[in-house]
Structure 1
């Protein structure tokens, strides 16, 4: 299967899933890696902006302990970040998302629901969030020609350092329970953290 066809299909799938105008795109290049793009879908009627990575699914993710990586089989994923408040609420977030989406290629991380990725610095200028918790984005997986695995679209929820520590200690479900109990909208970039 031609690699470019995967990314073309992923992009078309995201555009169909989110609807609305065509997204803008920012390309981020890392030394020794193929470029990653971050698509920015304009605010919808609820003032929700979506950012989606494009390039993480180019190759299947593999456990770094595997002696030989399978070039076709294996999980594939892209990250989707959803925020309220218009287009300018998260200046610079595209670079952070690209860094996190490069983790499988750089660190051998396999992205999956309940996974935690810690950037160690603000996800965007002035943000209190330094990590993301992965969840189900609601975007249907994209089937690829056999024998390739489908592309999963993982919700990238921004979390604070304290919340990341809570996930490590208690698990992702406990943090989600705390958010639900406190009525926290995790799409609000100005939200407070859960009382843990």
Structure 2
């Protein structure tokens, strides 16, 4: 576990630079989840990445036996524009989402919706996120067999109306809607996309 997390942190550092802050959260009955903050001064972005979710593979909650080696592994990455909102308060909600495979037996994969039931940060219109496809920002981290690679899953904040629309029409349709309307998904103060 420690070797996996050391490799994951090294991959995050090579892709995003040195973290300028980190926080740790422990939930009853779970391993510690850390959230690292990276600043991209050139792009005016701040990125938050979890560290600890990939320590164990995610298991199908209906499986009779959870294999300690096989199964998907992931960490979560959220990118937002810096200085527009108090987004550092997203650390606990991100840790909650990262702990969901351990706590609820959820397998987090692209296209999934994850809801924390409260604003992601003070004043945010978003209580949930859409899990996007990995590979663009941080490349998958290959592990020794039989372990599966660690995937770094981008999170796209959703309003409650967007999340409801996504449940009916699907993740691809919502992403197409965002693209068509030129939605800046990194804007922590963005307005909901038109769903008419």
- TM bucket (normalised to shorter chain) is over 0.9
Q: Which residue of 2 aligns with 1:178?
A: 177
Which 5+ residue runs of structure 1 have no aligned equivalent? none
Task: Map 1:80-91 onto structure 2 (within 5 A).
Answer: 80-86=77-83, 89-91=86-88
1:14 aligns with 2:12: yes
Q: CA deviation at 1:88?
A: 5.9
For residue 124 of structure 1, give the secondary structure of its aligned residue in structure 2: coil
Aligned pair 1:102/2:134, yes or no?
no
Aligned-residue RMSD, C-alpha: 1.3
- Assess if the C-alpha contact under 8 Å between 1:92 and 1:125 holds in 2: yes
Partner-residue secondary structure (3-state), 1:12: helix
Structure 2, unaligned stretches of length 5 or more? none
Distance 2:88 2:58 in 1: 29
Q: CA deviation at 1:120?
A: 1.4
String of CA shifts for 1:77-119, please: whole Å, max 9, x gaps: 0000000124963131000000011111111111111111011
Q: Structure 1 residue aligned with 2:126, among 114, 126, 129?
A: 129
Distance 1:42 1:102 in 2: 24
* 1:87–1:7 CA distance, 2 compared to 1 (3 A): farther
Partner SS state of residue 42, structure 1: strand
User: Is 1:24 paired with 2:25?
Assistant: no
Extract structure 1 runs of 4+ deviating beyond 3 A: 86-89
- TM-score calculated relative to the size of structure 2: 0.95
